Chains A and B, each alone.
Chain A
């Protein structure tokens, strides 16, 4: 066995309701595991250092930067990615609102932004504008100027439609 093989571990992770058992290198991030091993490429790498939020996923109900979580740390945990939001081809209310309010331009920040929004509405179904801004302050967007995103989230909150 080469050194590479010795530095691998078997992990069992539940992603979007489905459980996977895979062998991963210790130095692989959760982000890389989701994208490269599970082909869930919705989650993006923007900075790789926990500053931009493009890699945001929900781990055990909490939004985290997946670039700063090792795949081995996710062993035994539950992950929700952007791919897990739509059900049977039907978009999640947050996704629909982002489209309605034009909170998406290039779309790169969008998966992470929506996961932060979902996590916010799950813990605080009626956030103030300040609370929305604080919740998404770890998600950078270069395109929209944030207003349409804030309005989309406000709209979902007002309709009481946070969905599941």
Chain B
């Protein structure tokens, strides 16, 4: 049983921002994280602001070499998008291992980021693609690079009255991959998630579920030998993660897995 709350479905982002000024309000997009948190009492909003009615938050588009993913775009929309399959298959890979088909029909990419679970599957993939969050609030529009978006476990740098309106990804040629370790073959949170993207002399690796926030490493590998790339990548990645023991795995297991996954992912991408 969910505690009683009031529900609004604004038609514009200004209406949404006005409603969100109430400190006991929360944004609802897919609702697949929100409702679970409300049910287990982790959060108790008295006002729900459903942003699915805001037209400009919908859809996937390409403008001037930038891929724009609207805030209400679901994970399955990403997986089914021919544009995204062609330009950034790493996003399709990450989306495909997120929860179940039913959840993916409701869950949004933006929501996965805003919920800010350290294990969010879309985060490492979007980090290595240098995604930016476009955010709108009472002070207007601003862009937050995704690497500056996460503040801690389930915390972002969004203000109470701010809405993530779209995710922008600069379109570049390169090779990406996402590997996820989970306890079972079926739907599960990631024990460890590693994404990688290589374009020309630049290599980016991001790791999820191994620190309070998803962690990104950016390397310039143009002057490195293959052996140096492997060694530097592993060292740099191990430096930015701080895994813990939890129900899914021990810190030791996660560290061991990250090293192996960095190797595997580089074998594929280099």
Q: Is B244 engaged at the interface, CB distance under 8 Å to the other chain? A: no
- Given known pairs A7-B4, A50-B36, the reply for A70 and B102 (CB within 8 Å) is no
Residues of B within 8 A of A138 (CB): 99-103, 186-187
Interface string of A1-24 (1 = CB under 8 A from B): 001101101000000000000000
Find out whether the CB atom of B6 lies under 8 angstroms from the CB atom of A49. Answer: no
Residues of B within 8 A of A69 (CB): 31, 106
Contacts between the two chains (Cβ within 8 Å), count: 88
Q: Is A40 engaged at the interface, CB distance under 8 Å to the other chain? A: no
Shortest Cβ distance from A58 into chain B, in angstroms?
10
Q: Is A83 engaged at the interface, CB distance under 8 Å to the other chain? A: no
Find out whether the CB atom of B105 lies under 8 angstroms from the CB atom of A63. Answer: yes
Determine the residue in chain A with the shortest Cβ distance to B36.
A49
By the criterion of a CB under 8 Å from any partner CB, how many residues of chain B are at the interface?
29
Residues of A within 8 A of B1 (CB): 27
Find out whether the CB atom of B101 lies under 8 angstroms from the CB atom of A4. Answer: no
Determine the residue in chain B with the shortest Cβ distance to A134.
B101
Q: Is B172 engaged at the interface, CB distance under 8 Å to the other chain? A: no
- Given known pairs A25-B4, A29-B2, the reply for A68 and B106 (CB within 8 Å) is yes
Measured CA separation A56–B101 after assembly (Å)? 11
Determine the residue in chain A with the shortest Cβ distance to B74.
A62
- Given known pairs A49-B36, A134-B101, the reply for A73 and B6 (CB within 8 Å) is no
Find out whether the CB atom of B6 lies under 8 angstroms from the CB atom of A65. Answer: no
Q: Given A4, A26, A27, A63, which contacts B102 in the complex, CB threshold below 8 Å?
A: A63
Interface string of B91-103 (1 = CB under 8 A from A): 0000000011111
Which residues of chain B (65-112) have a CB below 8 Å from chain A?
Answer: 76, 99-103, 105-106
Residues of B within 8 A of A (CB): 1-7, 9, 30-32, 35-36, 39-40, 48, 50, 52, 76, 99-103, 105-106, 185-187
8 contacts between A and B (CB under 8 A): A26-B5, A26-B7, A50-B100, A62-B105, A65-B106, A119-B101, A137-B187, A138-B102
